[in-house]
Chain A
Amino acid sequence: MFSRKSAMIVGLIILVAANIIALSIISKKPYPSYGMGQIAITCVAPFQRLIVRSTRTMKDIWRHYFSLVSVARENDELRRKLQRARQESNRCREIRLANRRLRKLLALSQVVDDRSLAAEVVGKDPTPWFKTILVDKGRRHGVIKGMPVVSPDGVVGVIIEVAPGFSKVMLLTDPNSAVDALVQGSRARGIIKGGPEGMCLFKYVLRKHDIREGEIVVTSGMDGVFPKGLRVGKVASVVKEPAGIFQHVTVAPAVDFERLEEVLILPIARRQGDSLK
């Protein structure tokens, strides 16, 4: 009844449709992953770590021994101090604001310093379209899917895949990422999503809030993943359309993802009140 050619075309159409449907179903999951992916990560990540460490060692040798030894060391130290001071300043501002509003029930749990885990970045996403990294801590070290990842500068992302010795982290700038956040000054709340060109979009912020460029955005703690008060970034632009209930806010991430080398994996902040101490 049907020629061989027609049957092939129909078969091809069915195969394409099935492929698209399968991908759509899989991508609906919040952290899409599959068990076999861990095998590939486990096989590839040790080589990545070897190359990254060798490259870093070479860079360090060049920077520290062949070029301005003392200046480079002093610079490193000052950078570390600046990062610590920035984090400290941010923490103090959060605490002062919270006290001003008489929020005595702020749960200052020992989230960060007690159960956090330092990890080294060993690889980055092979494509420019998705923003993920691989770190050298995995299930063996107590890492589980959904754990928040931070650096001294602020929020880095969330664990989306865990292998025995390594984990994959979806960065804040990935289009699939979503972090509940608020503006430090006005307390306007919204969702931080990955946007174009390394920026983030601050979605669902009501028009009534007065937000200015340069204001700091921090995690709200409402998503049950990140502790409250972690630095997310700075407001880069605000556009209020003539109509609509939301305003368009763009946020520049606090973390320089290109230079990210070490991160801190935190336990999941299950309670809304979990906050940075």
Chain B
Amino acid sequence: MTYLFYSVVCLLMVLVKTTLVPGQVIFETFYDLLIPFIVYLGLNRPGREGIPLALFFGFIMDSLSGGTPGLYVSIYFWIIVAMRALSRYLHAGNWIFTSLAIGLAVAFELLALLFYLAAANPDVGIPSDALRIVLIQIGWAMLTGPLLMYFISAVQRRIDALRREAAGAN
């Protein structure tokens, strides 16, 4: 049930990013919508559940984007590992902490992608407007990411309740 929910959500987010958003003014300023999900999985779910899902998200993104295969898998893997480490020291339910965690994850993703771009094509380098895009994306992620996480959390609680009910019935 949990895996199905996250797979469907992943598909929906990817469809929004690849069909509806491109060509719109917000495209460049809109962050990776899967990041709040990975942050949520890292902070709130067990590793055996979160890590395979993060790798699955990365695989989908790698397949649809023009980057080298394994790039998104690596990025998402390190984000979830970092979030799991952070969750040991900080309180995951705090709104400010959640916002910061999502901002950091988006910043890490963008920096990794820009580093890859610069390393793979030294003559082209980093786009001149990269800093502006990075800052806007981080800002948007910090503002709206916690809302997405709140939604995931609510659905996840419902799934857990259903699972408990089913276990109780058996």
- Chain A interfacial positions (CB closer than 8 Å to B): 16, 19, 22-24, 26-27, 32-34, 36-41, 43-44, 47-48, 51-52, 55, 122-132, 134, 160-161, 168, 170-171, 174-176, 193-197, 201, 203, 258-259
Contacts and interface: CB of A to CB of B under 8 A. Distances in A.
A193 B121 contact: yes
6 contacts: A16-B78, A19-B78, A44-B14, A44-B15, A48-B18, A194-B121
Nearest to B113: A129
Binding site of B, secondary structure by majority: helix, strand, loop or mixed? helix
B69 A175 contact: no
Interface string B64-106: 1111111100100010000000000000000000000000000
Interface of B: 11, 14-15, 17-20, 22-23, 27-28, 32, 59-71, 74, 78, 113-114, 116-117, 119-121, 123-125, 127-129, 133
Nearest to B59: A40
A44 B11 contact: yes
A40 B55 CA distance: 13
A166 B114 CA distance: 28
B19 A52 contact: yes
Nearest to B66: A130
B19 A124 contact: yes
Contact of A37 (B27, B63, B116, B120): B63
Given A44-B15, A47-B11, A175 B64 contact: no
Contacts, number: 129
B32 A126 contact: yes
B127 A127 contact: no
B170 to A, nearest CB: 32
Contacts of A161: 63
B64 A32 contact: no
B65 A197 contact: no
B69 A41 contact: no
Given A32-B69, A176-B120, A123 B64 contact: yes
B39 to A, nearest CB: 18
Contacts of A41: 63-64
A22 to B, nearest CB: 6
A30 to B, nearest CB: 11
Given A44-B15, A197-B128, A258-B23, A126 B65 contact: yes
Given A37-B69, A175-B121, A197 B127 contact: yes
Which 7 A-B residue pairs are closest in the complex by CB-CB distance?
Answer: A130-B66, A40-B63, A132-B66, A37-B63, A27-B68, A124-B22, A126-B17
B19 A175 contact: no
A24 B123 CA distance: 17
A209 B61 CA distance: 43
B14 to A, nearest CB: 6
Contacts of B120: 27, 175-176
A201 B124 contact: yes
B69 A44 contact: no
B66 A176 contact: yes
Nearest to A193: B124
Contacts of A194: 121, 124
A198 to B, nearest CB: 10
Nearest to A29: B68
Contacts of A132: 64-66
A86 B157 CA distance: 59
Nearest to A36: B59
A34 B67 CA distance: 12
Contacts of A201: 123-124
A197 B125 CA distance: 12
A126 B14 contact: yes
A125 B70 contact: no
B69 A33 contact: yes
Contacts of A26: 68-70
B113 A22 contact: no
B65 A127 contact: yes
Contact of A124 (B18, B74, B127): B18
Nearest to A47: B15
Contacts of B124: 175, 193-196, 201
Nearest to B19: A51
Contacts of B17: 126
